[in-house]
A = this chain, B = another copy of it.
Amino acid sequence: MLLKVKILNIDSGGKPFVFLNDKDADELNINASERVTVKAKKKITAIINISSTVEKGFLGVNEEVRKILSLKQNSKVDVDIAPFPKSLQFIRNKLSGKKLLYSEIHEIVQDLVDGNLNENEISAFVTALHIDKIDLDEATSLSMSMVDTGKTLCINKKIIIDKHSIGGVPGDKTTLLVVPIIASEGFTIPKTSSRAITSVAGTADRAEILMPIEFTTNKMLQILKKSNGCIVWGGAIELAPADDMFVKTEFSLHIDPLLLPSIMSKKKAVGATHLVVDIPTGRGAKMKTTGEADLLARDIIELGKRLGIHTHCIVTFGEQPIGNTVGPALEAKEALEVLMNQKHVPDLIDKACNIAGSMFELLGKKNGYLLAKKILESGKAEQKMREIIKTQGGNPNIIPEDIPIGKYSLVIRSEKSGQVLWMENRIIVEIGRAAGAPKDKGAGIVFNKKVGDPVEKGELLFTVYADQSYKIDRVKYILSSQVSLGIGKKSDMLIHTITESPIVERTFVIDR
Roughly how many angstroms separate A123 CA and B255 CA in the complex, as a whole number? 14
* Partner among B13, B53, B92, B132 whose Cβ is within 8 Å of the Cβ of A32: B13
Roughly how many angstroms separate A504 CA and B27 CA in the complex, as a whole number? 27
As a 0/1 sequence over residues 108 to 139 of chain A, the CB contacts with chain B under 8 angstroms (1 = contact) are: 00000000001111111011101110000000
Q: Is A10 an interface residue (CB 8 A)?
A: yes
Q: Is A156 an interface residue (CB 8 A)?
A: no
Closest Cβ of chain B to A450, distance in Å, is: 27
Q: Is A383 an interface residue (CB 8 A)?
A: no
Q: Is A218 an interface residue (CB 8 A)?
A: no
Q: Is A374 an interface residue (CB 8 A)?
A: no
Stretch in contact with the other chain, from A245-253, A283-291, A421-429: A245-253
Which B residues are in CB contact (< 8 Å) with A9? 53
Q: Is A89 an interface residue (CB 8 A)?
A: yes
Q: Is A97 an interface residue (CB 8 A)?
A: yes
Tell whether A503 pairs with B86 under 8 Å between CB atoms, given A53-B9, A253-B92, A439-B29.
yes
Stretch in contact with the other chain, from A44-52, A146-154, A352-360: A44-52
Tell whether A123 pairs with B127 under 8 Å between CB atoms, given A11-B51, A49-B12, A251-B31.
yes
* Partner among B86, B97, B248 whose Cβ is within 8 Å of the Cβ of A131: B97
Roughly how many angstroms separate A89 CA and B255 CA in the complex, as a whole number? 12
As a 0/1 sequence over residues 475 to 512 of chain A, the CB contacts with chain B under 8 angstroms (1 = contact) are: 00000000000000000000000000101111000000
As a 0/1 sequence over residues 415 to 433 of chain A, the CB contacts with chain B under 8 angstroms (1 = contact) are: 0000000000000000001
Which B residues are in CB contact (< 8 Å) with A34? 252
- Does the CB pair A10–B252 fall under 8 Å? no
Q: Is A19 an interface residue (CB 8 A)?
A: yes
Roughly how many angstroms separate A127 CA and B126 CA in the complex, as a whole number? 10
| A49-69 at interface with B (beta carbon < 8 Å) | 49-54, 60, 63
Which B residues are in CB contact (< 8 Å) with A296? none
Nearest opposing residue in chain B for A132, CB measure:
B131
Q: Is A37 an interface residue (CB 8 A)?
A: no
Which B residues are in CB contact (< 8 Å) with A91? 253
Closest Cβ of chain B to A62, distance in Å, is: 9
Q: Is A254 an interface residue (CB 8 A)?
A: yes
- Does the CB pair B255–A95 fall under 8 Å? yes
Closest Cβ of chain B to A111, distance in Å, is: 14
Which B residues are in CB contact (< 8 Å) with A252? 33-34, 118, 120-121
Q: Is A155 an interface residue (CB 8 A)?
A: no
Tell whether A52 pairs with B119 under 8 Å between CB atoms, given A127-B127, A132-B131, A439-B26.
no
Q: Is A263 an interface residue (CB 8 A)?
A: no
Which B residues are in CB contact (< 8 Å) with A8? 8, 10
Which B residues are in CB contact (< 8 Å) with A118? 119, 252
Tell whether A29 pairs with B121 under 8 Å between CB atoms, given A10-B51, A11-B52.
no
Closest Cβ of chain B to A342, distance in Å, is: 33
Which B residues are in CB contact (< 8 Å) with A27? 439
Nearest opposing residue in chain B for A60, CB measure:
B10
As a 0/1 sequence over residues 60 to 99 of chain A, the CB contacts with chain B under 8 angstroms (1 = contact) are: 1001000000000000000000000010010110010100
Closest Cβ of chain B to A263, distance in Å, is: 21
Nearest opposing residue in chain B for A439, CB measure:
B26
* Partner among B49, B101, B124, B197 whose Cβ is within 8 Å of the Cβ of A253: B124
Closest Cβ of chain B to A414, distance in Å, is: 29
- Does the CB pair A13–B49 fall under 8 Å? yes
Which B residues are in CB contact (< 8 Å) with A123? 119-121, 123-124, 127
Which B residues are in CB contact (< 8 Å) with A89? 503-505
Which B residues are in CB contact (< 8 Å) with A12? 49, 51
Instruction: Give the residue among A10, A11, A13, A505 with the most B Cβ atoms within 10 A.
Output: A10
Which B residues are in CB contact (< 8 Å) with A197? 31
- Does the CB pair A95–B49 fall under 8 Å? no
As a 0/1 sequence over residues 16 to 36 of chain A, the CB contacts with chain B under 8 angstroms (1 = contact) are: 000100000011010111100
- Does the CB pair B253–A120 fall under 8 Å? yes
Nearest opposing residue in chain B for A126, CB measure:
B124
Which B residues are in CB contact (< 8 Å) with A119? 118-120, 123
Which B residues are in CB contact (< 8 Å) with A132? 131
A-B contact pairs, 12 of them (CB 8 A): A11-B52, A27-B439, A33-B248, A103-B501, A118-B252, A120-B122, A120-B249, A121-B252, A123-B127, A127-B127, A127-B128, A131-B131
Beyond the given pairs A10-B54, A12-B49, A92-B254, 5 more chain A to chain B contacts, judged by CB atoms under 8 angstroms and listed by A's residue number, are: A10-B53, A13-B32, A31-B197, A124-B126, A127-B131
**Top 5 closest A-B pairs, CB basis?**
A123-B123, A127-B127, A120-B123, A124-B127, A119-B119
